[in-house]
Chain A
Amino acid sequence: QITLKESGPTLVKPTQTLTLTCTFSGFSFSTNEVGVGWIRQPPGKALEWLALIYWDDDKGYSPSLKYRLTITKDTSKNQVVLTMTNMDPVDTATYYCAHTPQHCSGGSCYYYFDSWGQGTLVTVSS
Chain B
Amino acid sequence: EIVLTQSPGTLSLSPGERATLFCRASQSVSSSYLAWYQQKPGQAPRLLIYGASSRATGIPDRFSGSGSGTDFTLTISRLEPEDFAVYYCQQYGSSPRYTFGQGTKLEIK
Contact residues of A with B, CB < 8 Å? 37, 39, 46-49, 52, 60-63, 96, 98, 103, 108-114, 116-119
A117 and B44 form a contact (CB under 8 A): yes
| Selected contact of A110 from candidates B32, B45, B101, B102, CB within 8 Å | B32
Across the interface, which residues of A come within 8 angstroms of B99, CB to CB?
49
Cα distance A37–B98 in the bound complex, in angstroms? 10
Taken together as a complex, chains A and B put the C-alpha atoms of A61 and B96 apart, in Å, by: 7
Segment touching A, from B11-19, B20-28, B69-77, B87-95: B87-95
Q: Tell me how far the C-beta of A24 lies from the nearest C-beta in chain B, rounded to whole angstroms.
A: 14
Chain A residues, CB < 8 A from B95: 60, 63
Residues on B lying within 8 angstroms of A by beta carbon are: 1, 30, 32-33, 35, 37, 39, 44-47, 50-51, 54, 56-57, 88, 90, 92, 95-103
Known: A46-B88, A116-B44. 5 other contacts (CB 8 A): A47-B39, A49-B100, A60-B96, A63-B1, A112-B35
Given the complex of chains A and B, what is the CA–CA distance between A71 and B61 in angstroms?
Answer: 37
Whether B33 lies near A111 (C-beta < 8 A) is yes
Number of A-B residue pairs at CB separation under 8 A: 72
Q: Which A residue's beta carbon lies closest to that of B51? A: A110
Name the A residues within 8 Å of B56 (CB-CB).
Answer: 112, 114
Kindly state the separation between the CA atoms of A112 and B92 in the bound complex, as whole angstroms.
Answer: 8
Question: Which residue of B39, B45, B46, B97 is within 8 Å of A52 (Cβ)?
Answer: B97
Rounded to whole angstroms, the CA-CA distance of A47 and B30 in the bound complex is 21
Q: Are A112's CB and B1's CB within 8 A?
A: no
Q: Give 17 pairs: A residue, B residue, CB < 8 Å, sorted on A.
A: A47-B90, A47-B103, A49-B97, A49-B100, A63-B1, A63-B95, A63-B96, A103-B50, A109-B32, A111-B97, A111-B98, A112-B47, A113-B47, A114-B50, A116-B46, A117-B44, A118-B44
Q: Which residues of B contact A118 (CB under 8 A)?
A: 44
- Taking CB atoms, residues of chain A closer than 8 Å to B39 are 47
From B33, B45, B96, give the contact of A47 (CB < 8 A).
Answer: B45
How far, in whole Å, are A49 and B101 apart by their CA atoms in the complex? 11
| List of B residues within 8 angstroms of A116 by Cβ | 44-46
User: Which residue of chain A lies nearest to B95 when distances are taken between CB atoms in the complex?
Assistant: A63
